[in-house]
Amino acid sequence: MKYTHAAFDKAQQELAQRRDSAEAEYRTRLEEVSANVPEIISLTNSLKNTNFELLKIIGRQKGEVKGIIAQIRDKNLNTQRTIKELLKTCGYPEDYLEYTYYCPDCKDTGYKEGERCHCFTGLLKKYTAEELNENCHIELHDFSEFRLDFYPESVSNGMSPRERMKTVYSNCKEYAEKFREDSPSLFFFGRTGLGKTFLSSCIANELVQKGYSVVFGSILKLFRKIEDEHFGRTQGDTLDVIENADLVILDDLGSEFQTSFTDSVLYEIVNERINLGKPTIISTNLSPNEYSARYNERIISRLTGCFSPIMFMGEDIRHVKLKNNL
């Protein structure tokens, strides 16, 4: 997957911030311990001096070097042990003076054994997706803003919309809470103005805050962008970003100007993400009859076979708000 320069800059800045805060945390703890246990200062200094001792042996005979390194290592291990014991005796946890890295795998350097660490890749994906979302301008919301009282309580077609939406709401909340990179794909359907985009934005918001890479945009805008890039009118890798994000939310299926190109893009996205085992949320105002008539068999079989359907019910919330002067 290709990442933008801006995403690289932001990811590197975040790694640097993580290193700085690990360093700051270490310094605070060291100062605190030093005030109570002054012996700690000379012990931690002796550990730091190891680097200089190692530098001094550069240029010595090979046979000699091995022995000196072993000596330094033993001395180091001893010092570390003494520090731990001293800390314990003075009532501190024995790892109190170890660095607390955000990612212990790479010690917040972003690289492990010469390869990019998973934490760095995660940040790159997150910032690349964020950049794409900025172009799509969908407002993000919080689950706490959801209003069940916008949905009628009275039963129609054998079901109370309010009861139905209570279930939909808790399903969406649970989905965001328990999200994993292999969570199921969801298909939101129901008439316009029932809160599909709203609840999608709550899921997106919660996952972005947890650090996942989430692409969230209207199909119309995303497909227009992919088309412009495909025909060389603008630069970018929107399709690549969409295929690789942790979660993709394609809002308002059916609003796109449908061509054989948009159909093939839709199929490619859905199919590729299914093959990669990654979740996608698609919402539509179209009824099952309408979307079955509109899209080809390949797309429909993917949507019906690999997505969990979630039906939204009620009255258009904009009308409810107008009626009640809200």
Q: Which of residues 135-194 bind Zn ion (CB under 5 A)?
A: none
Stretch that binds Zn ion, among 39-47, 74-82, 102-110, 234-242 (CB under 5 A): 102-110
User: Rule CB under 5 A: is residue 106 a binding residue for Zn ion?
Assistant: yes
Consecutive H or E run containing 257: none
Residue 172 near residue 294 (C-beta atoms within 8 A): no
Spatial contact of 257 and 221, defined as CB atoms under 8 Å apart: no
The answer to whether residue 286 forms part of the interface with Zn ion (CB under 5 A) is no
Asked whether position 202 contacts Zn ion by CB under 5 A, the answer is no
Q: In this complex, which beta carbon is closest to Zn ion, that of residue 119 or of residue 241?
A: 119
As measured in angstroms, the least distance from the Cβ of 276 to Zn ion is 22
Residue 248: helix, strand or coil by DSSP? Answer: strand
Closest approach, Cβ 18 to Zn ion, in A, equals 9
Give the shortest CB-260-to-Zn ion separation in angstroms: 43
Nearest-approach distance from CB 55 to Zn ion, in angstroms: 27
Q: Are 142 and 202 in contact (CB under 8 A)?
A: yes
3-state secondary structure of 325: coil
Least distance in Å: CB of 20 to Zn ion?
16
The helix/strand count (H/E) of the chain reads as 12, 7
Candidate ranges 36-44, 103-111, 228-236, 291-299; the one touching Zn ion (CB under 5 A): 103-111
Residue 119 in the binding site for Zn ion (CB under 5 A): yes
Q: Which residues fall within 8 angstroms of residue 294, CB to CB, at 6 or more apart?
A: 254, 258, 286
97, 103, 219, 310: which one binds Zn ion (CB under 5 A)? 103
Q: Which of 9, 64, 95, 105 binds Zn ion (CB under 5 A)?
A: 105
DSSP one-letter string for 91-151:
TS-TTTTS---S-TTTTTSSEETTEE-HHHHHHHHHHHHHHHHHHH------GGG--GGGS
| Contact residues: Zn ion, CB under 5 A | 103, 105-106, 117, 119
